[in-house]
């Protein structure tokens, strides 16, 4: 099968820099490479990019997909992972230093158990803590087993390309993994402490290793006390406001029953508001009151209302209930039962205790809306919001205790009972700690010592040169991150339902070379990008035989054209406009550790207007950055070695309307118009900066025509016209796709 020709140098440098650094080449870089006549020019370029500190940013982001990295917990209690950024920075630094993949794996599984464990190694174990958890789960044992299941499933997919999650309940339906195998591994994580000893009410806290000194912790108490005081101030205000509102509503109980005679069941809230306003009542309380009456027609308190309902009986309703509720207000609920029977002036008897209970029932006919924004008037709600915002802002800016997300050995469990159907309350026979039986033939049984959880033994077993999966799984991912798809197209599933390798001998050879070269990721990548396969053109102008036999390019007879990933696209837009900040590291999530992501109105105040690399933007579970979502950012709750690629209309609309794109276009336009150049020179500069090439005659003419149509000759309209041109180029497929 005939393969494609070597790619054009402009395409090759663009492909290489996006692949290794996630950024577009500058005009100067492209010109230098195109004009470099040395035979090893391309090799030099590869080495230059591999040694750049931005390499770790790009390839660290790949691993964060696999590690299901996020800056918040998600699920029921979306608390901030205020220290997750330290794991992220550890990943970036590990790639930049070309940490051997074997060490990279061991530290994430058992860095805290290494003989020379330091802060870096302990930070690495954050990998096991990053999963989403149901933090308010009342059954502590179930919470632990759910967390162990998530850790096991993640470990299996990430390092072995195996799906273990379903084996919690039954033997694997397709792969030779039994429940005994599952619980043999689960015993390791059962002996590992993922949760700390602290909590906030019903919310459990994940484990963190504290590096702060006693003096540091003492000084933090002042911060904690201030946060607690501010929150208490807001809570006290809310409680007082609710108390005052309930007292007012109860004092108007008869008025609500009278007004309810004018409310039809099918009335909208807007119609009810008119009736309530005329009588000085709370519209939502009145609306609820009418519904409550409808659902309680036989209640002794409300049965008389139904007998008298209707506008013409309003006066009778008032006469009936006025005296009864007046007496109910003063009634002592602790009084003897006989004192509940009260005689009215007209001679009627009634149970004042029932009326008192109805009046004081917070969920009864006078129920106040539970949400402050529905319950309070404008001024009260504004003051409550001010107090809550004051507390939120102070907490968000407050320093954190010096600590990192991590695990540690807990109570050692040498064996764990099989949970029948996954139920932790229905136990079967116990299973000793070990790796799956089907995997023992290659790398042997787990070399467990008499002490410890077994995590370190597991980590060393995973990275044994005899383990046939660990190297293959990672090599496959790296290949896929360069070519758009792996040699095995299901990077987290090498099992029966997974894809078969397109080039099995190549995969085996690359895995062997990976291990032979001391698990060096950079050496493996150098080998891949220097290959003739990687340097091929993406043009389809090859033999008809190749196109007929392999229309999907599974055999890589040409380089596969790929769309930029969400982070690449966002960073490229900032880079070509000169706005990108490439500073490395540091905390960027604007929340304190374990702070709630959403405020009292369910608003997420996280901002994404930073001009730093996209890897440093917060990843908030349940509420991802819109631009990321549109361009197929992966689900941060599950390992993802291959991102799906969709093409939908909202992507184009986002490029048309996104403030990011508009501001970058304006910036480019100002830079272009600031130069005293001819129109044709400016057009050429725009194409070079954004697309990396000069325009042809047709493109130059079209660009000139566009500028003339938009501009009316003034300086301000001129900038707008050039901005429109720049935005058109930023939204072009040529900018968005890598050839």
Residues 289, 298: Cα–Cα separation, whole Å: 15
CB count within 10 Å of CB 681 equals 12
Residue 720 confidence (pLDDT): 92
Residue 447 confidence (pLDDT): 65
DSSP conformation letters of 219-242: HHHHHHHHHHHHHHHHHHHHHHHH
Residue 353 confidence (pLDDT): 84
- Which residue numbers in the chain have pLDDT < 70? 309-312, 337-340, 342-347, 441-451, 541-543, 600-601, 713-717
Number of residues assigned to the chain: 739
Of the CA atoms within 13 Å of residue 383, those in its CB half-sphere come to: 12
Residue 468 confidence (pLDDT): 87
Is the separation of the CB atoms in 626 and 651 below 8 Å? Answer: no
Rounded to two decimals, the pTM is: 0.89
Residue 715 confidence (pLDDT): 62
Enclosing H/E stretch for 651? helix 649-657
Query: Could you report the per-residue pLDDT of 302-352, keeping only the tens digit for each?
Result: 998 988 866 667 888 888 888 888 888 878 777 776 666 766 655 577 788
Distances (CA, A) of 299 to 250, 296, 358, 367, 691: 19, 5, 10, 16, 75
Q: Is 310 exposed, middle or buried (0-12, 13-18, 19+ CB in 10 A)?
A: exposed
Q: Which residues pair with 431 in a beta bridge?
A: 416
Token pair 């996954």 in the structure block, residue? 422
Which ranges of 488-622 would DSSP assign to H, the alpha helix? 504-516, 521-529, 544-549, 566-576
Residue 109 confidence (pLDDT): 97
Of the CA atoms within 13 Å of residue 258, those in its CB half-sphere come to: 18
Residue 712 confidence (pLDDT): 74
Residues 629, 134: Cα–Cα separation, whole Å: 24
Query: Could you report the per-residue pLDDT of 658-686, keeping only the tens digit for each?
Result: 999 999 999 999 999 998 788 999 999 99
């Amino acid at each position: 099968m005939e393969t494609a020709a070597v790619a054009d140098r402009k395409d090759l440098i663009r492909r290489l820099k996006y692949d290794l650094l996630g950024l577009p080449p500058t005009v100067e870089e492209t010109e230098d490479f195109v004009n470099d006549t040395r035979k090893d020019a391309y090799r030099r370029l590869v080495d230059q990019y591999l040694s750049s500190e931005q390499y770790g940013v790009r390839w660290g982001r790949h691993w964060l997909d696999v590690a299901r990295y996020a800056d918040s917990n998600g699920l029921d209690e979306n608390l901030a992972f205020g220290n997750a950024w330290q794991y992220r920075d550890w990943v970036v630094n590990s790639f930049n230093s070309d940490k051997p993949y074997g060490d990279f794996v061991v530290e994430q599984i058992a860095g805290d158990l290494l003989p020379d464990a330091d802060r870096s190694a302990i930070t690495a174990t954050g990998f096991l803590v990053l999963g989403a958890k149901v933090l308010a789960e009342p059954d502590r044992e179930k919470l632990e087993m759910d967390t162990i299941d998530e850790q096991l499933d993640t470990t299996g997919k990430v390092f072995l390309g195996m799906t273990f999650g379903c084996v919690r309940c039954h033997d694997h339906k397709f792969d030779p993994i039994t429940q005994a195998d599952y619980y043999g591994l689960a015993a390791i994580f059962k002996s590992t402490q993922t949760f700390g000893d602290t909590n906030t009410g019903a919310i459990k806290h994940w484990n963190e290793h504290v590096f702060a000194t006693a003096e540091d912790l003492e000084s933090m108490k002042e911060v904690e006390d201030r946060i607690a005081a501010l929150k208490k101030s807001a809570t006290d205000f809310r409680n007082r406001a609710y108390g005052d509102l309930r007292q007012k509503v109860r004092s108007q109980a008869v008025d609500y029953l009278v007004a309810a005679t004018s409310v039809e069941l099918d009335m909208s809230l807007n119609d009810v508001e008119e009736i309530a306003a005329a009588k000085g009542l709370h519209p939502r309380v009145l609306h609820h009151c009418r519904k409550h009456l409808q659902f309680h027609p036989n209640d002794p308190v409300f049965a008389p209302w139904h007998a008298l309902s209707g506008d013409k009986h309003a006066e009778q309703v008032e006469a009936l209930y006025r005296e009864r509720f007046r007496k109910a207000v003063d009634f002592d609920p602790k009084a003897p039962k006989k004192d509940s029977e009260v005689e009215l002036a007209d001679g009627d008897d009634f149970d004042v205790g029932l009326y008192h209970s109805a009046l004081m029932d917070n969920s009864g006919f006078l129920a106040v809306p539970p949400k402050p924004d529905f319950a309070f008037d404008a001024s009260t709600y504004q003051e409550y919001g001010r107090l809550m915002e004051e507390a939120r802002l102070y907490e968000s800016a407050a320093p954190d205790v010096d600590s990192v997300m991590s695990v540690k050995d807990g109570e050692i469990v040498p064996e764990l009972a099989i949970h029948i159907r996954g139920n932790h309350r229905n136990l079967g026979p116990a299973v000793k700690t070990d790796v799956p039986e089907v995997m023992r033939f290659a790398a042997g049984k787990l070399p467990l010592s008499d002490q410890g959880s077994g995590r370190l033994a597991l980590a060393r077993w995973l990275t044994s040169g005899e383990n046939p999966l660990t190297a293959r799984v990672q090599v496959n991912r790296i290949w896929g991150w360069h070519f758009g798809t792996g040699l095995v197209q299901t990077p987290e599933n090498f099992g029966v339902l997974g894809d078969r390798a397109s080039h099995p001998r190549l995969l085996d050879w690359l895995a062997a070379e990976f291990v032979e070269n001391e698990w060096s990721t950079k050496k493996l990548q150098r080998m891949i990008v220097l290959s003739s396969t990687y340097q091929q053109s993406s043009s389809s102008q090859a033999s008809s035989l190749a196109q007929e036999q392999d229309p999907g390019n599974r055999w890589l007879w040409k380089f596969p054209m790929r769309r930029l990933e969400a982070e690449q696209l966002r960073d490229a837009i900032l880079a070509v406009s000169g706005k990108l900040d490439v500073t490395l590291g540091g905390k960027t999530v604007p929340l304190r550790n374990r702070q709630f992501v959403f405020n009292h109105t369910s608003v997420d105040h996280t901002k994404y207007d930073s001009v730093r690399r996209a890897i440093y933007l917060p990843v908030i579970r349940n509420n991802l950055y819109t631009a990321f979502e549109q361009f197929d950012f992966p689900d941060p709750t599950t390992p993802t070695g291959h991102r799906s690629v969709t093409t939908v209309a909202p992507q184009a609309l986002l490029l048309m309307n996104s403030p990011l794109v508009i501001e970058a276009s304006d910036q480019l336009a100002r830079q272009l118009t600031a130069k005293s150049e001819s129109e044709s020179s400016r057009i050429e500069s725009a194409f070079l900066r954004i697309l990396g090439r000069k325009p042809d005659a047709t493109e130059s003419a079209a660009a000139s025509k566009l500028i003339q149509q938009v501009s009316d000759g003034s300086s301000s309209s001129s900038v707008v016209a050039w901005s429109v041109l720049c935005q058109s180029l930023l939204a072009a497929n040529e900018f968005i796709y890598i050839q």
